[in-house]
Amino acid sequence: KEEELQLKNEIKSLLVKNNGVLVAHYYTAGVLQDLAEETGGCVADSLEMARFGTEHPASTLVVAGVKFMGETSKILNNEKRVLMPDLNATCSLDEGCPADMFSDYCDQHPEHTVVVYANTSAKVKARSDWVVTSGIALPIIEHLAKKGEKILWGPDKHLGRYVQQLTGADMIFWPGSCVVHEEFRSVALERLKKLHPDAAVLVHPESPEQVVQQADVVGSTTALIKAVQNMDRQEFIVATDAGIFNKMRQVAPGKTLIEAPTMGEGATCQSCARCPWMGMNSLQNLAEVLRTGQNEILVSPELAEKARVPIKRMLDFAA
Ligand code: CIZ
Ligand code: SF4
């Protein structure tokens, strides 16, 4: 605790010294989320993180999250310095969608509009027509489907299938998935629902189909937080990274939050639904990058310019 306080104070003064602001994702450790808010930064989903960085005057953005989030910040703010606590914090969706293979797949389907999830590398974004996050995937695909466009979707197959089912869009899919959401188990969830018949079930659409089908609310992290805050229920079963409970407790302190079951159910697993890469962010390595200026995210201006086009398209659509 003593060490934690010292580190927090050091980070606060280093942020000021570096003209920096801390932006943290909902899936990072609670202590980082709280520190981001305390220091005038933000805690957000990937879309809001990107927006916040463009609107904030700080010259250094410190991104506590995973690599694609730092890259997106750099793409949108090429003149700013973007630092991340650990450059090895990646994402199974990003890793499972190498730019050269994805580009070949796109080349094989030239008549398709390429829509990629934000959880991808700068190169994959540069090869795409649209970037979407889970919060805005549905209206954008609806919009494209209305215009009669065929869609090549990547890389999250579960989110893709969910959007396809709701919109009826003509879509083909890159076969990626999130290692965290993939673990939620539908049969165990049915049992848990029986034990808590009054609980509302909140599910992130990166989850498997039979889990999504049992949801009262399917949505992005932001949408699930709003549901806890606004729904007239006392209990919630939540199928997304458990890091989100920090914000949920803050906005709805009296409510009961229950983790949806994963493969590790019943085991001595305290962190089954915790993204291992989000977990690489800590006070220690955050302080270290601020001290040294190491772990800067670099995206060449040419690549950033190409990748910015489909991201801006999403941001303009959202506005
Ligand atoms: O699962 C993720 O990495 C999410 C939900 C990212 C985001 O859009 O905030
Ligand atoms: Fe990627 Fe899943 Fe981790 Fe999000 S929770 S960063 S989608 S592996």
**φ, ψ of residue 73 in degrees (nearest 5):** -60, -45
- Specify the length of the chain in residues: 319
152-297-204-94 Cα dihedral, nearest 10 degrees: 40
For residue 213, the SS3 value is coil
The closest ligand to the CA of 118 turns out to be 1
Ligand 2, CB cutoff 6 Å, lining residues? 27, 66, 91-93, 119, 178-180, 241, 275, 277-278
Atom of ligand 1 nearest to the CA of 93: 3
The per-residue pLDDT for 265 is 58
- How far is Cα 200 from Cα 62, in angstroms, rounded to an integer? 35
- Regions in the chain scoring below 50 on pLDDT: 268
**Distance from residue 216's CA to the centre of ligand 1 (Å):** 20
Summarize pLDDT for 247-302 with one digit per residue, the tens. 999 999 999 999 999 876 555 455 579 999 999 999 999 999 999 999 999 999 99
Of all atoms in ligand 1, which is nearest to the CA of residue 91?
A: 3
| Residue having the nearest C-alpha atom to atom 3 of ligand 1 | 119
Structural domains of the chain ordered from first start:
2-89+279-299 (3.40.50.10800), 93-173 (3.40.50.10800), 181-274 (3.40.50.10800)
What is the sign, positive or negative, of the torsion defined by CA atoms of 163, 165, 168, 172? positive
Among 219, 295, 307, 220, smallest CA distance to 46 is for 220
Pocket test for ligand 1, best of 49, 63, 117, 119 (most atoms within 8 A of CB): 119
> Nearest 5°: phi and psi at 64?
-95, 105
The two most distant CA atoms of the chain are separated, in Å, by 60
Which amino acid is present at 104? D
Residue 71 CB–ligand 1 contact under 6 Å? no
Whole-number pLDDT of residue 86? 98
For residue 180, give the DSSP letter: T
131 Cα: distance to centroid of ligand 1 (angstroms): 13
pLDDT tens across 209-233, in order? 999 999 999 999 999 999 999 999 9
Per-residue confidence (pLDDT) for residue 1, from 0 to 100: 86
The DSSP symbol for 80 reads: S
Query: Among all ligands shown, which has an atom nearest to the Cα of 277?
Result: 2
The ipTM assigned to this model is: 0.96
